[in-house]
């Protein structure tokens, strides 16, 4: 589930922290990298659980209304389509989700106001109104309802993004990426799988975990070599004037370019140039592209880089 885009971001963050803390213990920093990636996987489960908790809150609210002192006819016979949603019942019973939630102590119990806000947003939406009016009453309709809710309401909500960022500092750069994996998960659900429906694994395969640790190690252990190479190609730029984050982005980029022969150079360059546009100044992407391109050409001419 944790893809290489997110891994690159996490490695950059931990490399930055490593230098900010005065070249600390490499093993401690590696453990922090793995912990940070684990927190991303936590977020995936939090977002899956959020749909379940919103539905449970709606069920409790309907029950309270039904048992109030003077219930209205609507209170006594409410529309229960949301709480009867087949997809949500399957998600609530999912063995993998429940096991992870139990093992990691994940819960929305202390976030009742937030869950209520999400529920109110859903109940006020056209998506919900159309769902109630939809005469098709089947698993596919139920699943598609939550796919639309997640894609059009949850993924686009600044309120939700800000709330999640405040809930964990580890999620600041993860949210949009993890949301795409939740959407993929919703689409992959099949009624026939029941409670044994598989969720996405933390890493797609063992190679991605190796990629994370190796990229981090190479960026640190060969950092001096890469920084000297970068400085050599600064031309009229003084290294002291270069934003520290730009230097670190190029350092990690070179670690990837030099250490992973199966990853095309163009792929690595594009990823880190995009990262520079997001994490640094508007001009950083162009600047970093020029420096790295110059370094790559030199390495190829010297036969130190034998890939396209």
Question: Tens digits of per-residue pLDDT, 212-231?
Answer: 999 999 999 999 999 999 98
**Confidence check: pLDDT of 23 > 80:** no
Superfamily of domain 222-301: NusB-like (1.10.940.10)
pLDDT of the residue at 243: 74
pLDDT of the residue at 239: 54
The one-character DSSP state at 89 is H
Average pLDDT over residues 4-15: 95
**Confidence check: pLDDT of 241 > 70:** no
Domain boundary assignment for the chain: 28-196, 222-301
Average pLDDT over residues 191-195: 98
Given pLDDT bands bounded at 50, 70 and 90, which one contains residue 237?
low
pLDDT digits (tens, 9 = 90+) for 80-139: 999 999 999 999 999 999 999 999 999 999 999 999 999 999 999 999 999 999 999 999
Range scoring the smallest mean pLDDT among 43-47, 57-61, 204-208, 243-247: 243-247
Neighbours of 126 (CB within 10 A): 9
Average pLDDT over residues 47-58: 98
Q: Please tell me whether residue 241 adopts helix, strand or coil conformation.
A: helix
Measured between its terminal Cα atoms, the distance across the chain in Å is 27
Average pLDDT score over the chain: 94
Neighbours of 221 (CB within 10 A): 11
Range scoring the smallest mean pLDDT among 22-31, 178-187, 249-258: 22-31
Alpha helices (H) along the chain: 4-20, 26-66, 73-76, 86-92, 95-104, 112-123, 126-133, 139-148, 158-167, 175-188, 206-221, 223-232, 244-259, 265-279, 284-301
**Confidence check: pLDDT of 77 > 90:** no
Name the token pair of 112: 């009742």
Q: Considering the entire predicted model, what is its pTM?
A: 0.92
The one-character DSSP state at 198 is P
pLDDT of the residue at 252: 98
**Confidence check: pLDDT of 238 > 60:** no
The one-character DSSP state at 156 is T
Average pLDDT over residues 42-65: 97
Give the percent of the chain with pLDDT over 70.
97
Q: Compute CA distances 62 → 80, 167, 214, whole Å.
A: 8, 28, 53
Given pLDDT bands bounded at 50, 70 and 90, which one contains residue 75?
confident
**19-23, 76-80, 101-105: range with highest mean pLDDT:** 101-105
Is the alpha carbon torsion for 218, 220, 222, 225 positive or negative? positive
282 vs 218, residue with greater confidence: 218
Q: Give the distance from CA 207 to its chain's centroid.
A: 19
Spatial CB neighbours of 276, under 8 Å, sequence gap ≥ 6? 245, 246, 249, 284, 285, 287, 288
pLDDT digits (tens, 9 = 90+) for 166-181: 999 999 889 999 999 9
Name the token pair of 44: 């995936």
Average pLDDT over residues 5-21: 94
Cα 272 from Cα 196, distance rounded (Å):
38
Contact between 108 and 114 under an 8 Å Cβ cutoff? The reply is yes
**Confidence check: pLDDT of 306 > 90:** no
Nearest-5° angle of CA 224, CA 14, CA 111?
170
What are phi and psi for residue 18, nearest 5 degrees?
-60, -45
């Amino acid at each position: 589930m944790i893809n290489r885009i997110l891994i690159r971001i996490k490695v950059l963050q931990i490399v930055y922290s490593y230098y900010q803390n005065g070249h600390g213990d490499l093993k401690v920093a590696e453990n922090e990298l793995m912990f940070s990636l684990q927190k991303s996987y936590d977020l995936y489960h939090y977002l899956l659980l959020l749909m379940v908790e919103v539905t449970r809150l709606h069920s409790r609210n309907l029950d309270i209304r039904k048992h109030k002192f003077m219930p209205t006819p609507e209170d006594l016979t409410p529309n229960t389509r949301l709480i009867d949603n087949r997809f949500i019942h399957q998600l609530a019973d999912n063995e993998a989700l429940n096991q992870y939630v139990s093992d990691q102590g994940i819960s929305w119990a202390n976030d009742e106001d937030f869950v209520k806000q999400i529920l109110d947003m859903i109940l006020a939406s056209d998506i919900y109104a159309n769902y109630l009016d939809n005469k098709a009453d089947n698993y596919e309709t139920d699943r598609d309802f939550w796919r639309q809710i997640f894609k059009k309401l949850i993924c686009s909500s600044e309120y939700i993004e800000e709330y999640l960022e405040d809930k964990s500092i580890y999620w600041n750069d993860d949210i949009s990426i993890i949301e795409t994996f939740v959407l993929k998960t919703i689409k992959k659900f099949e009624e026939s799988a029941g409670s044994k429906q598989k969720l996405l694994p933390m890493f797609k395969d063992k190679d991605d975990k190796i990629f994370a640790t190796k990229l981090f190690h190479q960026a640190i252990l060969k950092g001096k070599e890469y920084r000297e190479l970068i400085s050599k190609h600064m031309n009229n730029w003084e290294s002291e004037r270069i934003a520290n984050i730009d230097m670190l982005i190029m350092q990690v980029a070179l670690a990837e370019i030099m250490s992973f022969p199966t990853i095309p150079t163009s792929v690595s360059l594009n990823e880190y140039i995009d990262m520079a546009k997001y994490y640094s100044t508007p001009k950083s992407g162009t600047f970093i592209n020029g420096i790295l391109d110059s370094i790559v050409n030199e390495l190829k001419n010297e036969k130190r880089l034998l890939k396209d």
